[in-house]
Copies of this chain bind each other. A is one copy, B any other.
Amino acid sequence: MKFWQRAQNAGFKIPELPTESRERTFPDTNCVILDGKLVASLIADQCKELGKGRKQPKLAAILAGEDPASQVYVGSKGKSFANVGFASETILIPSSEASSDKLIETIEKLNADVSVSGILLQLPLPNKMDEAAITARIKREKDVDGFLAANMGLLAIGNFKDTFLACTPFGVMVLLAAYGINPAGKNMVVVGRSNIVGKPMALLGISADSTVTVAHSRTKNLPEICRNADILIAAVGKRALITKEFVKPGSVVIDVGIHRDENGKISGDVAADVRYIASALTPVPGGVGPLTIAMLTMNTALAAWN
């Protein structure tokens, strides 16, 4: 598997799932639960195990401003790193001090710091800063989010031994592999074309021999296009947009969306009725979310080790 090359070079293996996990279905359905939380925990175990006797990976997260969701994200990332014995530090920059110059200076310092394996610049940035221009200052070799043009370009040309893959689509590929779902020769439809999910997901699908379609807000006949999918990736950012009318019976559906309603209940881009016709589906929560953090941990290990 091409996407796994760099991980493999560092000693990681595609997690093997016990049969009962592979066959667990949503209640009253034949739809297999693609348990991202489980796969994430197995990746975490490998991080811990492979870390023995190796350089301790360290993540430096830059948190500029006071966005509450960002504070939660950065906090949970730090916890995941601690759980596997990796180091992490958070550099807090209050909005009042958060200028482009200040952020670039911070990044340059972390670029030069040999104790730092990976740098994460938490988005969104406050004060209407140019996020792309500031992100671009992160050293390619420490871009564990895989957001840099240089890493996306390495993915595009198929250099899997050097690139950092964006964590969410990387996690989706691992999940499919762990459940024995081979994308080769299948129709993969990616709904959404963001730089951090849709586009790298499409490039990963192409490299795995899928016939890949990228659909988005300007797509006509979206339900019809989605119904062509053997593997449907919903990364559209609209709650429950993908209903059963969008899904071919027996297909595999991956829900990248995370939405929180007024009661704090979390759900995704995929509606509840899809489980009655898909053959496998990621739950939300417990699907792609935990995997994204696991892949960030792994990318930081790869930055430290190879």
Chain B residue nearest to A156 in the complex (CB): B152
- Are B220 and A211 in contact, with the CB atoms below 8 A? yes
With an 8 A cutoff between CB atoms, is A206 at the interface? yes
- Are B157 and A132 in contact, with the CB atoms below 8 A? yes
With an 8 A cutoff between CB atoms, is A150 at the interface? yes
Interface residues of A in 192-225 (CB under 8 A from B): 193, 195, 199, 202-203, 206, 209, 211-216, 218-220, 225
CA distance A195 to B206 in the complex (A): 11
- Are B206 and A216 in contact, with the CB atoms below 8 A? yes
What distance in Å separates the Cβ of A249 from its nearest Cβ neighbour in chain B?
18
What B residues does A216 contact at CB under 8 A? 206, 209, 211
- Size category of the A interface is 20 to 34
Chain B residue nearest to A208 in the complex (CB): B218
State which of B184, B199, B206, B225 has its C-beta within 8 Å of the C-beta of A206: B199
With an 8 A cutoff between CB atoms, is A185 at the interface? yes
With an 8 A cutoff between CB atoms, is A154 at the interface? yes
Chain B residue nearest to A218 in the complex (CB): B209
Given A153-B149, A159-B149, the answer on whether A215 and B211 have CB atoms closer than 8 Å is yes
CA distance A39 to B148 in the complex (A): 34
With an 8 A cutoff between CB atoms, is A126 at the interface? no
- Are B185 and A219 in contact, with the CB atoms below 8 A? yes
Given A153-B151, A219-B211, the answer on whether A195 and B132 have CB atoms closer than 8 Å is no
Interface residues of A in 140-192 (CB under 8 A from B): 148-154, 156-159, 184-185, 187
Interface residues of A in 102-130 (CB under 8 A from B): none
CA distance A234 to B184 in the complex (A): 21
- Are A195 and B149 in contact, with the CB atoms below 8 A? no
What B residues does A156 contact at CB under 8 A? 149, 152-153, 156, 195, 199, 203
What distance in Å separates the Cβ of A204 from its nearest Cβ neighbour in chain B?
12
What B residues does A148 contact at CB under 8 A? 153
What B residues does A149 contact at CB under 8 A? 150, 153-154, 156-157, 159
- Are A132 and B153 in contact, with the CB atoms below 8 A? no
The chain A residues found within 8 Å of chain B, CB to CB, are: 132, 148-154, 156-159, 184-185, 187, 193, 195, 199, 202-203, 206, 209, 211-216, 218-220, 225
> What are 21 A-to-B residue pairs whose CB atoms are below 8 Å?
A148-B153, A149-B153, A149-B157, A149-B159, A152-B152, A152-B156, A153-B153, A153-B154, A156-B195, A156-B199, A157-B199, A158-B195, A185-B218, A199-B206, A202-B202, A202-B206, A209-B216, A211-B214, A211-B225, A212-B213, A213-B214
User: Given A152-B152, A202-B214, A206-B216, 10 other A-B contacts at CB below 8 A?
Assistant: A132-B159, A148-B153, A149-B150, A153-B156, A184-B218, A206-B214, A211-B215, A211-B220, A212-B213, A213-B213
